[in-house]
Amino acid sequence: MILGLRRTNPYRELEKRLGYKFSNRDLLEMALLHRSYRYEVKDVATDNQRLEFLGDAVAGFLVAAHLYRIHCEGDEGVLTEMRSRVTSGKAMAIAARDIQLGDFMRLGKGEEMAGGRKRETLLADGMEAVIGAAYLDGGIKAAEKIVAKVLIPMMSGKPDEDWMENPKGKLQELSQKLYSHGPEYRCISEEGPAHKKVFVVEAIVGGAKLGQGTGSSKRIAETEAAMMGVRKLLAGR
């Protein structure tokens, strides 16, 4: 193994959340290894960047195939836009946060102290790398299990829905419709130096915490929290 032999599987819970069990755990371990860890730790000569490249392409193909099957009448432009939304860095980061992927990432001390586990780009890259690792481990069927578990549920039901462009507006609309008042955004954490702040915000609707977002500004964190809240309300949870 990349980081030494282990008697137990430290990724059992993550595999449950992914919906796929790796045959070669080294591949999963590599997918979770950020370049900052490789730079700081002796004898670690690889990281997840190549897997990220592969996973991006695999996820794009699988989402495109799914959209082609379920939207028989959608034209190329509509399908392309939908695929872009579901495979965007923001969507990948939300999926990664939903399964708490950041808890399993290997980071260098500097990245850890800078709040790397909450960083959107790091989480998105990690999610793509995991999909790439699954493809190498078990082929397209393996990658498809993860995409079906963590990405496909993010799709809206209609090809013309554009709420992902304005999730705060959509959450406002749903909140007013269901509870006769707008959502509340509550900043629960503000970390890091003044030039590199990391904000964590909760979206609360009807007294329930429906989403949590992280970003370099409160606006970005609120947008991410709203997106999670919309998804839950649309799913009837």
| Catalytic positions | 56, 128
- In the chain, the N- to C-terminal Cα span, in Å, equals 40
Burial annotation 22-36 (CB, 10 A radius, 16+ → b, else e): beebebbbbbbbbbb
DSSP reduced 3-state for 99: coil
* Pick from 220, 194, 231: nearest CA to 89: 220
Residue 176 sits at φ, ψ, to 5 deg, of -65, -40
Give the other-Cβ count within 10 Å of 13's Cβ: 13
